[in-house]
Structure 1
Amino acid sequence: MSISTSVSGPGELRMRMVGRLVDAGVIEDGPVAEAMRAVPRHEFVPDAELRAAYRDEAVVTHRDPDGIALSSASAPGIVGAMLRQLDVRAGHRVLEIGAGTGYNAALLDTLVGPDGTVTTVDILPEAVREARARLDATGHTTVRVVLGDGEFGDAAGGPYDRIIVTAGAWDVPASWAAQLAPDGLLVVPLRMRGLTRSVALRRRGDRWVSEDSAECGFVPIQGAGAVAERNIMLGESSVLLRFDDDRQVRKAALDEALDRPAHTRWTGVRPPRGEATLDFWLMTLPGFCRVILMDAAFERGLPRALNAWGSMGAVQAGTFAYLTARGQGDARELGVCAVGADGAGLAEGVAERVRAWDAERDSRARIEVHPHGGAPENARWTIDKRHEQVSVILEP
């Protein structure tokens, strides 16, 4: 007796991918869903296995000599979420900062239709060549693909009704404001002390005011606006600490920390659900960073981090801490694991911050980008940037 197995074709895989995003509430069953059903993602990531092209995962396409990602095709979930934020309409003029594979530009081209225009800018010559070729091969021949530094946008194609940035941006440069039409919308993955949020911003006088935000992660922007992330690997590929600036860290002391017992403090607090503000409360901790645990960390006996990708945490001297959890369902409880010379002290310090957040856990974050010294009176936290300041306001 023979058993036959069927392999789903790209069309069926594409329909399933979109169906999952709609069912999860990431996108509505409307124009964005239709565009994602129409554009074959696998044509833009030809080196990826067919099923991988339609998973909700990023596909890295270019790396530097050290293996750090320079360009990628973002996961379909964040692509759809950002397009939902962007609210593109037929006939719009759209600027994309970061061409990547060209997939997002193809979606934008589908959304704006024959009466709209799409310009996409990338700083990597190889990305520009590949995006141009793939857009042409899939019928999106009118998209302008420009080699340039996204910090300066592309004035020749403006003014734009919409600008979307597909790389982690440290600042919101003046060129984007200058090239955006009145009442236009900017969607940008904004980096804030190690957090990245895709923020939908409108210009209001001398400032940008958010209308929506969503958690995300992106390759940092390159060129004149670059501020590199700093990655420190501890204990023979056990724990990766990622900082959003060039602060000084005593790596040798942290390597030694892994030889000490871990201290865990349970907080009595339920983990957040959906888009929560907990990370904003943690970002003011000295040494705030992202903590990513590798398989070797579990072999050392460390508890798993709160999320599969890791957790936000903190480093102080020769000690690091991160969030963990125990229990199931509504009985889950947040904890803090700290490893190092002052494990007990740092664990309790982070736990106190978690409990403080719990008292305002239902609040939502509104983000403003404004000139230095222009923070609103109700700003809870303000972050200095090169060109401006970013304020986070908590609202009921």
Structure 2
Amino acid sequence: MNTLRRDDASAAEFRDALVDQLLTNGMITSPVVERAFRTVPRHLFVAEGTPLEATYTLDQSVPIKRDPGGVVISSTSAAYIQARMIEQAELGPGMSVLEIGSGGYNAALLAEVVGEGGRVVSVDIDPEVTDRARELLEATGYGSRVTVVLADAGNPLPGLHEPFDAILVTVGAWDLAPAWLEHLSEGGRIVVPLRMNGITRVIGFRRQGDHLLSTSAEVAGFVPMQGGGAHDERVFLLPDRNGHHVKLRFDDGAPAEMNLLDGVLATDRTEVWSGVTIKHGVSFADLHLWFAAFLPGFCKLAVDEGTDMAAERKTWFPFGVVRGDSFAYLAVRPVPEGGGVEFGARAYGPHGEAAATAMVEQIRAWDRRARHLEPAFAYWPTGSQRPEFGEDTAVLTKTHGLVTISWPPAADAVTGQGAPHNPTTAHTPA
């Protein structure tokens, strides 16, 4: 256990092992970021008593603060995404960086990367978080190198007149605040965990004239933003015959007549299969993003223990679609010859087959037009000059502008593992 608030040989050993992993996995790619991660004592920024094994793990965040309901509202992010975000920002000695969302550790890393000649400002809306960050930065020797500000970063920050070379947003954002762009230099970079219809990507944007174009993107999750930039999901509960619930969570575009789904879990279940397959262990995170971009009625699902869906948890994923009085959700089944699974959709409701077919059509479209290709993102603030967007570009409306997600024309370039064919449909008892 780590019970001493100091750096020692055992902590340094854990720290070096973590950095070696980050290098091996390509999450750290520059010497200046490597040196920062080998230097800053991560264990001195987490709760006292946190085991070194938990502190220096590759992919686990460490909670800092929870709300009265136990939900984490501030945390030290997983080491891998901290490394990737700093690399995405393309920071170096002498540069200036604004961090939105404080904790202390990440700000100390940034101070090491930009050096004595650089500038780091860290902002948070929660006074408990900023007080803690100041105390820890002072205790670890970074107090004079990081300016911690208590403020809602959704508003312009007083006294910050010089633009920043980079902005790192370390909380989940539904939109980009105009104030952030006011603080960003021409050609500057902003790295932000951006929520797009419920799906988050940590996007590295570069400012180009009146808009932002992506240079990189990573898959990760973050605690949501508080204050003026907060955006709550809408959650609907569907009861089953035993009083358990399926929860449908809409980030945007919740159907107006959700009452049409009353009693839907008492109907027979329908299955539609796509013919699109994937091998075990291969990520299909961009399929979720494709749904968020092109599947009207898209939502995320959660289920209570005791529901029929909970019993089949290993064969479905928490992404769904609502169509009137019916809903469908992403499912898989084994490929007969082994070595992979086939994508499909299971559905409930009088028109469950239509809902499942709508999802399957988008699985096939992803396989045909986007699989194996990296999407590009752009942010177009209100008032910017926007081009005509083609059929391979999804346009998501935000409060202060538009987000676009674009895939290159791909019909001839993609060689998916499963060729589309006519769907197969089966009815099973609910």
TM-score scaled to structure 2, two decimals?
0.79
Q: Provide the residue aligned with 1:393 in structure 2.
A: 406
| Secondary structure, aligned partner of 1:139 | coil
Q: Structure 1 residues 282, 299: CA separation in 2 closer, same or farther (over 3 Å shift)?
A: closer
- Contact kept, 8 Å, 1:230 with 1:246, in 2: the verdict is no
- Contact kept, 8 Å, 1:85 with 1:200, in 2: the verdict is yes
Match for residue 338 of structure 1 among 342, 347, 354: 347
| Secondary structure, aligned partner of 1:363 | coil
- Contact kept, 8 Å, 2:166 with 2:188, in 1: the verdict is yes
Aligned-partner Cα distance in 2 for 1:38–1:334: 45
Q: Provide the residue aligned with 2:40 in structure 1.
A: 39
* Residue 395 of structure 1: how far off its partner (Å): 2.0
Which stretch of structure 1 is more off in the superposition, 327-336 or 154-163? Answer: 327-336
Aligned-partner Cα distance in 2 for 1:64–1:253: 34
Q: Provide the residue aligned with 2:171 in structure 1.
A: 167
Q: Provide the residue aligned with 2:387 in structure 1.
A: 376
- Contact kept, 8 Å, 1:32 with 1:111, in 2: the verdict is yes
Match for residue 60 of structure 1 among 45, 60, 63: 63
Aligned-partner Cα distance in 2 for 1:305–1:180: 45
For 1:377, the aligned partner's letter is E
Q: Structure 1 residues 82, 63: CA separation in 2 closer, same or farther (over 3 Å shift)?
A: same
* Count of equivalent residues: 385
Q: Structure 1 residues 174, 251: CA separation in 2 closer, same or farther (over 3 Å shift)?
A: closer
Q: Provide the residue aligned with 2:107 in structure 1.
A: 105
Q: Provide the residue aligned with 1:4 in structure 2.
A: none
Please say if 1:82 is aligned against 2:91: no
Q: Provide the residue aligned with 1:121 in structure 2.
A: 123
Ranges in structure 2 where 5+ consecutive residues have no aligned partner: 1-8, 410-430
For 1:226, the aligned partner's letter is A
Q: Provide the residue aligned with 2:331 in structure 1.
A: 324
For 1:16, the aligned partner's letter is A
Aligned-partner Cα distance in 2 for 1:53–1:234: 39
| Secondary structure, aligned partner of 1:18 | helix
Aligned-partner Cα distance in 1 for 2:166–2:378: 18
* Residue 278 of structure 1: how far off its partner (Å): 2.1
Cα displacement string for residues 55-110 of structure 1 (whole angstroms, at most 9, x for unaligned residues): 211223223333333222222222122112111101111100111x2111111111
The share of aligned pairs that are identical, in percent, is: 39
* Residue 347 of structure 1: how far off its partner (Å): 1.9
Aligned-partner Cα distance in 1 for 2:121–2:354: 52
Please say if 1:289 is aligned against 2:299: yes
Question: How is 1:1-396 mapped onto 2 (pairs within 5 angstroms)?
Answer: 9-28=10-29, 30-46=31-47, 48-55=50-57, 56-99=59-102, 101-142=103-144, 143-154=146-157, 156-157=159-160, 158-232=162-236, 239-245=246-252, 247=254, 256-260=263-267, 262-271=269-278, 273-274=282-283, 277-283=286-292, 284-292=294-302, 296-297=306-307, 300-304=310-314, 310-317=317-324, 319-327=326-334, 331-360=340-369, 361-372=371-382, 374-379=385-390, 380-395=393-408
Cα displacement string for residues 343-381 of structure 1 (whole angstroms, at most 9, x for unaligned residues): 333222211110111001133211111145844324411
Q: Structure 1 residues 139, 254: CA separation in 2 closer, same or farther (over 3 Å shift)?
A: farther
| Secondary structure, aligned partner of 2:29 | coil
- Contact kept, 8 Å, 2:170 with 2:192, in 1: the verdict is yes
Pair member with larger Rg: 2
TM-score scaled to structure 1, two decimals?
0.86
Aligned-partner Cα distance in 2 for 1:17–1:261: 50
- Contact kept, 8 Å, 1:233 with 1:240, in 2: the verdict is yes
- Contact kept, 8 Å, 2:303 with 2:309, in 1: the verdict is no
* Residue 211 of structure 1: how far off its partner (Å): 1.2
Cα displacement string for residues 161-182 of structure 1 (whole angstroms, at most 9, x for unaligned residues): 1111111222222222221122
Which stretch of structure 1 is more off in the superposition, 324-333 or 140-149? Answer: 324-333
Q: Structure 1 residues 327, 314: CA separation in 2 closer, same or farther (over 3 Å shift)?
A: same
| Secondary structure, aligned partner of 2:154 | helix
Aligned-partner Cα distance in 1 for 2:225–2:403: 18
Ranges in structure 1 where 5+ consecutive residues have no aligned partner: 1-7
Aligned-partner Cα distance in 2 for 1:22–1:97: 26
Q: Provide the residue aligned with 1:5 in structure 2.
A: none
